[in-house]
Amino acid sequence: MTRSAQPAARGVTRRRQTRPTRDLGPDAAGTELELEVGPVAHGGHCVARHEGRVVFVRHALPGERVVARVTEGAEGASFWRADAVRVLRADADRVEPACPVARPGMCGGCDFQHATPVRQRGLKAEVVAEQLRRLAGLDLTVEVEPVAIEAGGREDGLRWRTRTQFAIDAEGRPGLRGHRSHDVVPLADCPISAEGVVASGVLAEHWGNVEALEVASGSDDGPPLVVVLPSAGRHPRMPKLPDASVAVRRADGTLERRSGRTWVGERVAVGGEELSFRVGGAGFWQVHRGAASTLSEAVLAALRPREGERALDLYAGAGLFTAVLARAVGPDGAVLAVESEERAVRDARRSLHGLDHVGLRAERVEDVLATATEDLGSADLVVLDPPRSGAGRAVVDGIAALAPRVVAYVACDPAALARDVAFFAERGYVLDGLRAFDLFPQTHHVECVARLVPREAAPEASA
């Protein structure tokens, strides 16, 4: 991010070291600065200023006074990056991180373990609101909702992640990488990973000729699945994992089964009904244990589907929203799912088998929408769950051309969502509701479900 993209900090203070800034040379990395911490910014850090330059500070909270060590500080750069290594004036919501490596210079997996869960949600709400204000011109009050306990949430924000990829260091130890670093921090535990991920046993072993491990824990009471990614051109040396299924990902992306099964099962409760899905390998699935049901209920609430309607599920993944919508519109309706990732398409075909009013296109969303008005004519409902980069103008234009009565946009990046909301506004669709969910506790990530309707329908839809 550039300096102009960030809100201004509240204070400017002196450096703690004795040498002046003009003598820092081409790189200030390692220099310690005493800073007054300003507002939170998108990306898991807060904004401060030092002698006119923006400093993005991790491991800090707005309003704190800290000593921050510069981690990236080129002389001509418009901003620097830093870690708060000492807290001189702590915020009331500061807590001790639950993980021993969720600290400056160590694991980069978590951004906000030093704040209470309630404060974390408040910080994320500020970010979502700021992005909508800056990129879409909307002034909204945003609340980030916790995942309900009955849906799999926990008040402490731990043990939620059912899919974790661990890197392997030079000594064969699994871990996670440091923030903006290739260095691997070995782990004995990962407190945000679900019990099943840790119970697989991968963190207690050493791995030879292995680049990474993908570990998935399903919700069907089956064993966790460990997918081994060998180093290029090498044969992996693997320990035995009696409590897990194990597969090796070949160079062509297919899986070689070593033990157990090459998939995990997922069960999702939606509207009093349980749906079942089979997800191959460590294929795409929402990572929070309660995300699938939480988002499905939110999408249904946004779309309010009626029997007999035609729905379009874009970036359909393993077919979660497709299955939910198929039951909502009934056999007299129709749902078309569009997904380009080959493994996800295979999963969707299995899970959607038997739903005769469901179609599946294994193509890029952009390509399908390019001819959608000729091929599809129109759609009553659209749900889209694009990657972090968002949908983009071409996809928004293609959706608007189908003239749906309502669109549900599921977004994991508030900046991409805000940009696309502005694109929708250009095509006559306005934001008629927004819910944000804390589906990534301890990190800066947040999931949103936006409801978009034609401008002329907005007053009636809001009534």
Q: Which residues are catalytic?
A: 412
Separation of alpha carbons 160 and 193, rounded Å:
6
Residue by residue, DSSP assigns 15-54 as BSSSS-GGGSTTB-TT-EEEEE---EETTTEEEEEETTEE
Both tokens assigned to 311: 């729905």
Residue by residue, DSSP assigns 199-242 as HT-GGGS--BSEEEEEEE--SSSPPPEEEEEEPTT---B----T
Helix (H, G, I), strand (E, B) or coil at 255: strand
Separation of alpha carbons 60 and 7, rounded Å:
16
- For residue 168, give the H/E element and its range: strand 163-168
Q: Quickly list H helices, 318-413.
A: 320-329, 342-351, 365-370, 372-375, 393-401
Q: Of 56, 26, 28, whose CA–CA distance to 40 is shortest?
A: 56
Residue 329: DSSP 8-state: H
Both tokens assigned to 226: 């460990």
Q: Of 147, 399, 186, whose CA–CA distance to 289 is shortest?
A: 147
Q: How many CB atoms lie within 10 A of CB 73?
A: 24
Helix (H, G, I), strand (E, B) or coil at 291: helix
Separation of alpha carbons 38 and 404, rounded Å:
42
Separation of alpha carbons 155 and 157, rounded Å:
6
Look up residue 39 and give its amino acid: P
